[in-house]
Amino acid sequence: MPHDVALIALIAAGFVFAAIFGYLADRLHLPPLVGYLVAGVIIGSSTPGFVADVSLASQLAEIGVILLMFGVGLHFSAADLLAVRGVAIPGAIGQIAIATLLGVGLTSLWGWSVGAGVVFGLSLAVASTVVLLKALEERNLVSSTNGRVAVGWLIVEDLAMVLALVLLPAFAGVLGGHADAGGHAASGSIWLTIGMTLLKVAAFAAVAIFLGPRVVPWLLTSVARTGSRELFTLSVLAIALGIAFGAAEIFGVSFALGAFFAGLVMSESHLSHRAAADSLPLQNAFSVLFFVSVGMLFDPTVLIREPLMIIGVLALIMLGKALIAFGVVLLLRYPASIGFAVAAGLAQIGEFSFILAGLGVSLGLLTREGQDLILAGAILSITLNPLAFYATEKLEKWAFARWPFLANKYGMAKQEGLRRELTAINKQREERDRQHHLEIEQLIETFPMFAELDDNAHEELLLLFRPRSASPGDRVIRTGDRGDSMFFIASGAVEVQLEDDEIPLGAGAFFGEMALLTGARRTADVVAVDFCQLFVLERRDFNLFMSRHPQLRAAVSRMARERQESNVSRQRRDLSQDAS
């Protein structure tokens, strides 16, 4: 195949096979992710037929990793994590440590090095947040206490794996690998290397945390004010990829960490929901290519060559981690129901396992066989995860019937505390959403002309409007000034002072539009006669918004023309009365 179409062939084959096998997986009540991995196996070098370019796939996978981590950061909720911190943080850290040690122990029986065992254990210790959320959604448990603890637990795992991705290259030399993907050994003290790594991460985090919230929301708001959806989406992706690349080039940290902080910074913006919605299609597309590229690296013959190893891997993922999580939850004196939910959710591995395995191979710590075992464990555990949920549900009912105190007494005090905190967070979110919807409702109620606009246009107007207040006697507009803005009266009243007439305007009215429509100078003074709250729409924003919504421009022009005709009629009537 000519080299110049290899990328097109890879993307086309990846999407086509991913769509086919993803659909089949869904029909079999399996996560589509299983289908994407199988699609990668089909177009990989280990199976006959079409073989896609693996080197190109790895680059697309890198973009997929960036967008996956960007999504994790964008949806990260510090409030949710803090609410479940008592169980999620110590539980996840303890479970990762024990599961990693079990992985090291298992691989030592196979004669692997300690470094390979550490990478292998870490890869099996972390579960897929994507798979967990899918399972919780199917059972309507995402908003439940147990579901939010499970999600918080996996967020802590994700954060721990981000740290592992940063530190693993620093430890690679000690663990028997090389310090970077290029194969150069680390020089100097390992502690100096680790210290420098952490210093770079701290420097990047400081820049991202202190500078990001000031720059990124301002940038997004500025772009959103243009009203261009494609420009807004482009800006979101530019921020995600730009911060990730800059983090790697300037601070020497991983793309994954840079992308996570990009999402974290953007989540502080009031436009984060729009950013998430607009970037979601590309996130999904490149995430699919990421899983396809992972499947391309998998050699399915390992299932035949090493069946006992596969059984050991599955046992550690589906039994070992589940038992560890359940035991840790009980040791922390939280209810057994939380333990069962977390145990079922952890009985699989996913995206971070693939990233860690790939890094381990590039650092010379993990063999291709080890990577194949991890991929096999992922495919099988994700496929069997619905069965794990079913089994834990049955086991939970049996345990509660056998030991009623587990259901009625054990950990109830901590569960009530969790519920109170989570309920408070829910109320805060509901109030914030209610206030936002109220702003739009008030906008439509005050200015009926905006009622026919869609929700996106309402959001845009709220961004374009600049609030301004005026006290009685303040001159808002002067005759002869250049018209650079239009005013909408949210509350209060003003008086339009013509040469021989005075026209009162109240809430819901607008003024100053004629100068913007005709380009002429102001023809009247406008003075506040009450305490006023005004919305100001500047000339540039007025022209952009009206060009995108011609029906609104027509309505404003019609109302302005009717007002002008009414003024002329009134003046003529006054003149005729004076003449008589």
Same domain, 570 and 465: yes
Does pLDDT of 150 surpass 80? yes
459-479 pLDDT, tens digit each: 777 777 778 888 888 899 888
Same domain, 277 and 158: yes
Kindly report which listed range (185-194, 282-291, 508-517) carries the lowest average pLDDT score.
185-194
Round to whole Å and give the CA distance between 371 and 349.
Answer: 13
pLDDT at 233: 81
Does pLDDT of 187 surpass 50? no
Round to whole Å and give the CA distance between 261 and 267.
Answer: 10
Within 10 angstroms of residue 191's Cβ, the number of other Cβ atoms is: 9
Round to whole Å and give the CA distance between 81 and 156.
Answer: 8
Same domain, 307 and 363: yes
Does pLDDT of 86 surpass 90? no
Do 282 and 31 meet the contact criterion of CB atoms below 8 Å apart? no
Q: Which of 389, 408, 427 is the last residue of a domain?
A: 408
**Which among 450, 483, 484, 477 is positioned nearest to 553, based on CA atoms?**
450
Same domain, 84 and 212: yes
CATH number of the domain that residue 307 is part of: 1.20.1530.20
Same domain, 396 and 467: no
Mean of pLDDT values over 124-144 = 80
Residue type, 71: G
Kindly give, in sequence order, each residue whose CB lies less than 8 Å from that of residue 311, ignoring residues fewer than 6 positions away. Answer: none
Q: Is residue 440 part of a domain?
A: no
Q: Is residue 414 part of a domain?
A: no
Does pLDDT of 194 surpass 70? no
Does pLDDT of 130 surpass 90? no
315-344 pLDDT, tens digit each: 999 999 999 999 999 998 898 888 999 999
Mean of pLDDT values over 79-93 = 84
250-264 pLDDT, tens digit each: 777 667 777 877 887
* Tokens found for residue 380: 């099988």
Round to whole Å and give the CA distance between 535 and 489.
Answer: 6
Mean of pLDDT values over 259-287 = 75
Q: Which residue has the higher pLDDT, 371 or 544?
A: 371
Same domain, 30 and 143: yes
Same domain, 240 and 179: yes
Within 10 angstroms of residue 138's Cβ, the number of other Cβ atoms is: 13
pLDDT at 232: 79
User: Residue ranges of the alpha helices (H) in 349-449?
Assistant: 351-362, 368-402, 404-408, 412-446
Same domain, 367 and 480: no
Q: Which domain does 555 fall in, by range?
A: 453-578
Kindly report which listed range (252-256, 284-288, 295-299, 551-555) carries the lowest average pLDDT score.
252-256
Question: Sorting pLDDT into bands at 50, 70 and 90, what band is 12?
Answer: confident
Residue type, 60: L
Does pLDDT of 399 surpass 60? yes
Same domain, 44 and 167: yes
Does pLDDT of 108 surpass 50? yes
Same domain, 391 and 465: no
CATH number of the domain that residue 486 is part of: 2.60.120.10
Question: Sorting pLDDT into bands at 50, 70 and 90, what band is 225?
Answer: low
406-452 pLDDT, tens digit each: 877 888 888 888 888 878 877 776 676 666 555 656 666 666 667 67
Mean of pLDDT values over 298-321 = 90
Mean of pLDDT values over 235-253 = 81
pLDDT at 140: 81
Handedness of CA 76, 78, 82, 83 (dihedral sign): negative
Q: Which of 346, 375, 408 is the last residue of a domain?
A: 408
Burial track 485-512 (b if 16+ CB lie within 10 A, e otherwise): bbbbbbebbbbbbeeeeebebebebbbb
Q: Is residue 313 part of a domain?
A: yes
Same domain, 171 and 286: yes
- Of the chain, the percentage scoring pLDDT greater than 90 comes to 15
pLDDT at 318: 92
pLDDT at 112: 92
Handedness of CA 414, 416, 422, 425 (dihedral sign): negative
pLDDT at 81: 73
Q: Is residue 439 part of a domain?
A: no
Q: How many domains does the chain have?
A: 2
Mean of pLDDT values over 19-40 = 86
pLDDT at 242: 85
Does pLDDT of 122 surpass 90? yes
* Tokens found for residue 347: 């009985």
- Of the chain, the percentage scoring pLDDT greater than 70 comes to 85
Kindly report which listed range (55-69, 72-86, 432-446, 505-519) carries the lowest average pLDDT score.
432-446
Does pLDDT of 300 surpass 50? yes
* Tokens found for residue 297: 């690296």
Q: Is residue 442 part of a domain?
A: no
**Which among 39, 57, 35, 64 is positioned nearest to 49, based on CA atoms?**
39
Q: Is residue 429 part of a domain?
A: no
Question: Sorting pLDDT into bands at 50, 70 and 90, what band is 211?
Answer: confident
Beta bridge partners of 533: 469, 491
Q: Is residue 478 part of a domain?
A: yes
pLDDT at 570: 65
Q: Is residue 67 part of a domain?
A: yes
Round to whole Å and give the CA distance between 502 and 232.
Answer: 44
Longest pairwise C-alpha distance within the chain: 114
Task: Output the average pLDDT for the chain.
Answer: 80
Do 412 and 335 meet the contact criterion of CB atoms below 8 Å apart? yes
Question: Sorting pLDDT into bands at 50, 70 and 90, what band is 181?
Answer: very low
Same domain, 483 and 369: no
